[in-house]
Amino acid sequence: MKKAILLLSATLLAGCSSAPETPDCNCDNTPPPVTSQPVSDANKKAINALFAYIAKEAKKQWGDDEYVESSKHRYVKYLDGYQTRAHIDFEAGKIYVSTVAQRQPMEKLQKAIVQTVLMPADPKHVEQFTDKDIELTGKPFFLGQIVDQEGKSIEWEWRANRFADYLIDNKLQSKIIKRGKAYYVQIDMVKDHLEQREYQYAHYVRDASKRYDIPEDLIYAVIKTESSFNPYAVSHAGAYGLMQVIPKTAGADVFNLVKKKPGMPTKEYLFDPANNIDTGTAYLHILKTRYLRDVKNASSKHFSMISAYNGGTGGVLATFHNDRKQAMVALNRKSPRQVYDALTARHPKDEARRYLQKVLYFQKDFNEGKI
């Protein structure tokens, strides 16, 4: 089974991995394709096989009812033969560290707390799809987002160990589950945890905004919608990182049209926050200047870009007509309000309808200083 997991991981990592560079994009002069690029079935099958493997191993220890898996806004890392886990809810700002180990449960819980609060800011040092220990290296991701019992940030192992001891001595909880007894502690992030994560990536957002002529508030709103600033985010569709980029579609478009290089980004490449924000923003640039360049009204184009980021250009056009050329004509005949109403009420995908509403809501929040 371990060999199978290695093979699946290799499939997901296939492609080109290199540092981001300043684009030389002539997207404005290139006609849009007839159809959108399909999502890679191989990539989806591989990522879903990894999710299935984790589920199988974790359920042996936790049972079906207590199993929790990672999602776009939630990170779950299993440890210690899948008996112990860290569950991070980025939207709620809460962390749950739990164990069902029957031998030395407190020692295993203490170790897991330390690894969780000192989890590295660089996601490549955390193997999400195994039960291996978290490599404690570099700046902790939660620095500033978690404080100890004295109200101090946790950067060093000695302070993390002391905090873990405090939690076990004073905040330990337990419950009976089908597979035995579970012990856990809850860690609340600081009130402005979202802003703390936002600050970590502000310079990447600013640089990408200038590089691709995409508003900063839109980039922030997409990140908030896609992942709640969770750099470890991964979905069953095979989307990775802060802006939930799918390698075979948006990633390949950016590599080929903007970076002028063959292939597509790897999982490791997209887990790097700088690369992810660069790639996601570059894709918004492609939507604006290539696939949706014929949308005449600026507000209508803005709504269409956001919708297309989630549901594809084809989904946007299908909202207005089943023929792409006639769809563009129909779209341009409508007012921005009518375009918005159509995309939020008649888009073929329910998720895309809600997506446009969420991103615009978070854009407003950003401009009001709420994110």
Which of the residues are catalytic? Answer: 226
* Residue 234 backbone zone (phi > 0: left; psi -120 to 50: alpha; other: beta): beta
What does the alpha-carbon distance between residue 76 and residue 5 come to, in Å, rounded to a whole number? Answer: 18
Taking the C-alpha atoms of residue 156 and residue 160, their distance in angstroms, rounded to an integer, is 6
User: What is d(CA 74, CA 24) in angstroms, rounded to the nearest whole number?
Assistant: 36
Closest of 190, 191, 194, 187 to residue 90, by C-alpha: 194
β pairing state of 74-79 and 84-89: antiparallel
- CA torsion through residues 7, 13, 14, 18, sign: negative
| Residues 142, 119: Cα–Cα separation, whole Å | 7
**What are the backbone dihedrals phi and psi of residue 50, each rounded to the nearest 5 degrees, phi first?**
-65, -45
Q: What is the DSSP letter of 349?
A: -
Q: Which residues contact 85 (CB under 8 A, 6 or more apart)?
A: 58, 68, 76, 77, 78, 79, 97, 98, 99, 112
3-state helix, strand, coil in the chain (%, to 5): 50, 10, 35
Residue 183 — φ and ψ, nearest 5°? -110, 140
Residue type, 260: K
Q: Which of 226, 237, 316, 315 minimizes the C-alpha distance to 277?
A: 226
Is residue 39 within 8 A of residue 315, CB to CB? The reply is no
8 A C-beta contact, residue 282 and residue 260 = no
- Residue 36, token pair as written in the block: 């959108």
For 86, the enclosing helix (H) or strand (E) is strand 84-89
DSSP conformational letter for 132:
P
Contact 32, 291 (CB under 8 A): yes
| Token pair listed for 343 | 């995309």
